[in-house]
Chains A and B, each alone.
Chain A
Amino acid sequence: MLNRLANPGSFMRWSGPAMVPLALVTAATLAIGLYLALVVAPPDYQQGETVRIMFVHVPSAWLALFFYMVMAVAALGSLVWRHPMADVSQKAAAPIGAAFALVCLVTGSLWGKPMWGTYWVWDARLTSMLVLFLMYCGVIALWRTIDDPARAARAVSILTLVGVVNIPIIKFSVDWWFTLHQGASVLRLGGPSIHSSILVPLLVMALAATLLGTTLHLLGMRTEVLRRRVRRLELLRAERLEAPSEPVRPSARSEVSA
């Protein structure tokens, strides 16, 4: 089943028709979520209307972490099975995860200005998210520097997996660093419990963000498959131009072929 879904040719066949319904469901969920978050949810008694930033902020943070995990699982697929679709999935996930991390940082700092009086504090959570964003940047940069897609995929897989080992260490050390340097004086969200009037819109928004991420991921994967086909055709054409007398043999072992 998974094998059939992950074959590049059949992936293109099933994902194409799936895009429009998926996009519609995403748009509907996002509309409901935004309506609940921006209109229905009550303003916080302390934070006022600014609490609504949370409905974008928190799902972005979750999705930023989620897409790193997607990359890590795909990285295993790339290294262990050398599956071209794992490479494609990895490559498509990186910019989406980076975008969610950036949205989380930007909304966080916009929220921080009215709440904490500053756009940025070196709080442990903010710093960890910034480091995650930097790691996404490194992954994207490595994808762009190695032009052979299969080699790039293996190099990025190793980097991603080293990152998975290191993320808990970084998280822990940043927490340690923060508590060492200053007391818990910074206002933190997350009191004893979240009331359901806030929790329901938050969960709907999280669902919407997950759907949005999935849609973008599938779309990115489709684009990447097409890009590889174009690359393959260009390589074949160049080969043909170079040696017109010799028959052209499809030789590149790792390209995605339809």
Chain B
Amino acid sequence: MRAFLALLRRDLVLAARIGGSGGLGLVFFLMIVAVIPFALGPDLNLLSRIGPAILWIAALLSTLVGLDRLFQADEEDGSLDLLRLSGTPLEILVLAKATAHWLTTGLPLAVASPLFGLLLALEPAAMATSLVSLLVGTPALSFLGAIGAALTASLRRGGLILAILVLPFAIPVLIFGVAASDPAAEARAQALLFLGALTLIAGVVGTLAAAAALRSRE
């Protein structure tokens, strides 16, 4: 537990001091939300109808950006090897890093989503449901992404292949996330429960698989 907290704090401090995640991820999220109306046209009715979907796609893409550095930076400067030697289970490391990743990307996105929902003319009810679904669903994206990040940790240009590996696994999250964002859908509660289940499954599978992938590099 102490190791987990120490790793978590280290990653959060790194994110805060170096930048590149957190604030920038939010700006990227805003960029996508701002760019899509240019492609679709400024029809507010259309935008408010597909607004939750836009928010989810933007969340998915901003999670992917920078994910390739999740383990790579530690791999390059050798701290990953030190952590392996320290006797701390790699699962703890993955759990801490994925949690830190979510705290610096998923959580800010979810919290800021009502603000960006204004740009998409979302109804207040849709804003609330989008916020809840993003809060529940984005951890799954971080944990699934950790698998891809661990698999591509030692590759020089892992960004593109990481996206190819991770996106198919993110499809269920996207499906239930968008369904849980629609306040009019009668299956909303059901979708939200499924989304929570997906997050829990991704938490377990992602942690174990990413730790195994980090171990398999030798």
Contact = CB atoms under 8 A, between A and B. Distances in A.
A and B are interacting partners:
yes
Interface of A: 79, 131, 134-135, 137-138, 141-142, 145-146, 151, 154-155, 157-159, 161-163, 165-166, 169-170, 172-174, 176-177, 180
B165 A159 contact: yes
SS class, residues of chain B in contact with chain A: helix
Contact of A162 (B147, B155, B171, B172): B147
A207 to B, nearest CB: 30
Given A169-B172, A173-B171, A138 B201 contact: no
Interface of B: 147, 151-152, 155, 158, 161, 164-165, 167-169, 171-172, 175-176, 179, 185, 187, 194, 198, 201, 205, 209, 212-213, 216-217
B151 A158 contact: yes
A131 B179 contact: no
A172 B190 CA distance: 14
Contacts of A177: 175, 179
B205 A180 contact: no
B98 to A, nearest CB: 14
B168 A162 contact: no
B207 to A, nearest CB: 12
Q: Looking at A79, A142, A161, which has the most chain B CB atoms within 10 Å of its CB?
A: A142
A162 B169 contact: yes
Contacts of A159: 147, 151, 165
A145 B155 contact: yes
Contacts of B205: 162, 165-166
B209 A162 contact: yes
